[in-house]
Structure 1
Amino acid sequence: MAWIVLVLSGLLETAWAIALDRSAGFSRPLPSVIFGVTLVLSMAGLAYALREIPVGTGYAVWVGIGAVGTAVVGMVALHESSSLPRIACLLLVIAGVVGLKIFH
């Protein structure tokens, strides 16, 4: 269960990062509220998962999921660069996250 919560918390990290960008420095109310809610839920999920998963592994997986998710949303929905080297680097992050799970 802890791993499922950790993955969901990583996805929520993507949501709050995108909402933070869309809040325009907290000047737009809806994205600002979405940021706050998803941030709290993401942190709560991380805290729950860390009761069973070592902090080094849990935090790295959480950050990895959030970073890759945010980068993918940026490339797909926000028209950021999606060059082959960037995609290769994201695949390396994914490989690292999978490796942390496998060798946990």
Structure 2
Amino acid sequence: MPLAYFVVRATVADPAKRPAFDAWYSREHLPDAVKSFGAEKAWRAWSLTDPSLHQATYQFADQASLDRAVNSADMTRLVADFNRDWPDVTRTRELLVLAEEFGAG
């Protein structure tokens, strides 16, 4: 079964709010989401081409694991927590399945 990914892109338009958002995501949201989703791992990044764009990616063993995570009560709670703490931050979500991996190692 190919790996599956849940990608969340958030736009933090106000540069003054980015350090607080970064700290909250690192200390609270990312660890909570990984544990709640049962994700294998997760990583996040800030865009170099658009500094307002933050992306978090969660890796799952397969599509069934991803589907369980995004359709869970925990997902509903995590979205509500995000909306409560960051009401002015817009987000998009994507569900992906690995088509190919290439490289050494």
- TM-score relative to the length of structure 2: 0.29
- The one of the two structures with greater contact order (alpha-carbon pairs below 8 A, sep at least 6) is 2
Q: Which has the higher helix share?
A: 1
- TM-score relative to the length of structure 1: 0.30
